[in-house]
Amino acid sequence: MNIYSPGQIDYIIEQTLGSTPQQHMAFIRAVGAEVAANVGSLRRKNKRVVIFAGNDINGAYAMETGAELARMDFNPEVYLINIGGDRLTADARAAREDFIEAAGEEALFETIGMELVQPDLSASDLVVEGLFGREHDGPLMGGYQYLARFINESGAFVVAIDLPAGMTVDLSVGMINRNIIHANITLTLVGPSTAFFMKENAELVGRWQVLDVDLDEEALSNTKCHTRLIEAHNVRKLMPARNEFVSKADLGHALLYAGSYGMLGAAVLSARGALRSGCGKLTVHGPRCGFFVLQTSVPSAMFMTDGGDMDIRRMDYSKNYSAIGVGPGIGTSDATVAALEGLLKGANAASAPIVLDADALNCMSLRPSMLDFLPARSVITPHEGEFDRLFGKQPSSSARLLKAIEISHKLSIIIVLKGHYTATIWPDGSVLLNSSGTPALATGGSGDVLTGLITGLIASGIHPEYAAVAGVYIHGLAGHFAARTQGIRSVTADDVAQYLGPAMEAIAKPAKQQ
């Protein structure tokens, strides 16, 4: 699914609206009819529907929604903000006439002077919010700010048209959410923007849905989106079919540097993730204290050590491995930090990308000069805390994503920025948002499984850019499968690793074949 920039959405709507008043109103009425159909499916006719309309095109959408609801035998009330009595655009004036014709003048409550005409609202009401949409750029001020707080505090169920009033579709930093409409559902016109997927905006957007309205086909085809929402059919194309005559030698050999005293579980979990990836062989390099743990917990993996009793003291790059992952549970001892630097220098000299997570990123934050030795197309998989320790404290998810895009381009690396909608950022500026996220993955060790999985996918022959995208989606789907049997609160990282195989099989087979 395409995720659009603000400029792209403006362009598509402008082309769709056309140049004549008749074209404008045809589209506005189509939007109103679709919004009304959605509202009608949410509430029975005996429920009160209150519509707030602004003086521009979003207000026109809202008033046409009211006109259509009146024709459907609802009894909508429209509160139109027209301060001064002469602020309506031509579109809004035409829509106002349509509403009066359908519902009668007694259903229209218009603010003309400086005193706001407003209804009493309760939690049993349904509000259709059409104040601004995306034609207003910047925070709400004065009476509009008051109105936003009034609607939010009423507890009414809110349907926002296009965009909740006061919210911007760019990755704004520092917005005050209580001054923005909090929608339960946002009915957007063209498609979602990246801002829809940011954690801080979840309470603003609510559940979002794209309206089924005809848009200018040429404008759509000319729009190339750098951000996309990844779904199962996208991942299916990235997973190669397995030849009947394949052997383990054909499927790659993965190496994981993982584990330290007290953190051997991370090594076990990452190993299980790698083994479920489909790679042919796996070697885990850990401290001597991990020998019996790894050999008994993950017997399919080979184990080697550099002789350090409690931590890893040497990491060497070797061409004998198809992919290398490093980080789960390795700790941040001086010896391990030095060993990681040696590995990065060796891999950089060989132009061989590696996968880094967890303590590998923490080691780098202790010695930031190591960033200079990251091989191109390496994959790092930080959560918010690890990212901020490495690249500086970020005030919001939006700021963190913008920083990740900058760093990915600067260092030519792939960044998997973990969250509900995990973002995989490529050096060319592409952002691939994951659709399979689940709160079930909020459990210790889940990230270690992902590290092993991505490393194994690369070892099996998938390019790092695609392995990161596929690994994130598979990992999320495995979390969903695990939650079905364990419950969303009781999923462990072991459960996630166990369901990686079923997740990959589900992706490989379209639903009609399952």
Res 134: pLDDT: 81
Q: Which of 192, 225, 258 is at the close of a domain?
A: 225
- 220 with 285, same domain: the answer is no
Q: Which of 225, 259, 277 is at the close of a domain?
A: 225
Cα four-point dihedral sign 177, 178, 183, 188: negative
Identify residue 283 by its one-letter amino acid code: T
Closest CA to 211 of 31, 471, 392: 31
The residue-averaged pLDDT of 136-141 equals 76
The residue-averaged pLDDT of 318-328 equals 96
C-alpha distances (whole Å) from 433 to each of 11, 192, 230, 330, 474 are 23, 12, 6, 29, 13
Count of structural domains within the chain: 2
The residue-averaged pLDDT of 64-80 equals 95
Helices 446-459 and 464-486, axial angle in degrees (round to 10): 140
- 252 with 219, same domain: the answer is no
- 399 with 350, same domain: the answer is yes
* pLDDT above 90: residue 172: no
Whole-number Å distance between alpha carbons of 361 and 290: 21
Q: Can you spell out the DSSP letters for 340-374?
A: HHHHHHHHHHTT---EE-THHHHHHHHSGGGGGGP
Residue 108 falls in which region: left (phi positive, over 0), alpha (psi -120 to 50) or beta: beta
- 299 with 374, same domain: the answer is yes
DSSP-assigned letter for residue 269: H
DSSP-assigned letter for residue 193: B
The residue-averaged pLDDT of 132-143 equals 79
- 143 with 32, same domain: the answer is yes
Res 513: pLDDT: 45
CATH at residue 414: 3.40.1190.20
* Residues belonging to the chain: 514
Res 53: pLDDT: 95
Q: What is the pLDDT of residues 199-216, one digit of tens each?
A: 888 889 999 999 999 999
* Residue 399 neighbours by CB distance under 10 Å: 18
- 49 with 139, same domain: the answer is yes
Q: What is the pLDDT of residues 410-461, one digit of tens each?
A: 999 999 999 999 999 999 999 999 999 999 999 999 999 999 999 999 999 9
Closest CA to 418 of 199, 169, 232, 172: 199
Res 85: pLDDT: 81
* pLDDT above 70: residue 174: no
Q: Which of 225, 257, 289 is at the close of a domain?
A: 225
Query: Phi and psi for 493 in degrees, rounded to 5?
Result: -60, -35
Helix (H), strand (E), coil (C) string for 198-237: CHHHHHHHCEEEECCCCCCHHHHHHCCCCEEEECHHHHHC
Asked if the structure places residue 242 within a domain, the reply is no
Q: What is the three-class DSSP state of 140?
A: coil
- 428 with 462, same domain: the answer is yes
Q: What percent of the chain has pLDDT over 90?
A: 81
- 483 with 450, same domain: the answer is yes
Res 510: pLDDT: 63
At which residue do the structure tokens 């995208």 appear? Answer: 469
pTM, two decimals, is 0.89
- 397 with 322, same domain: the answer is yes
Q: What is the three-class DSSP state of 435?
A: coil
Whole-number Å distance between alpha carbons of 26 and 30: 6
Res 514: pLDDT: 40
CATH at residue 6: 3.40.50.10260
Res 114: pLDDT: 78
Asked if the structure places residue 133 within a domain, the reply is yes
- 170 with 261, same domain: the answer is no
Please give the structure tokens belonging to residue 97.
């006439």
Closest CA to 456 of 418, 409, 504: 504
Q: What is the three-class DSSP state of 172?
A: coil
- Residue 506 host element (H or E): helix 500-508
* pLDDT above 70: residue 365: yes
Asked if the structure places residue 409 within a domain, the reply is yes
Asked if the structure places residue 243 within a domain, the reply is no
Asked if the structure places residue 513 within a domain, the reply is no
The residue-averaged pLDDT of 112-139 equals 87
- 17 with 79, same domain: the answer is yes
Whole-number Å distance between alpha carbons of 86 and 97: 15
Asked if the structure places residue 214 within a domain, the reply is yes
Asked if the structure places residue 514 within a domain, the reply is no
Please give the structure tokens belonging to residue 150.
């009034």
Residue 50, beta-bridge partner list: 77, 127
Asked if the structure places residue 283 within a domain, the reply is yes
Domain assignment of residue 32, given as a range: 2-225
- 143 with 28, same domain: the answer is yes
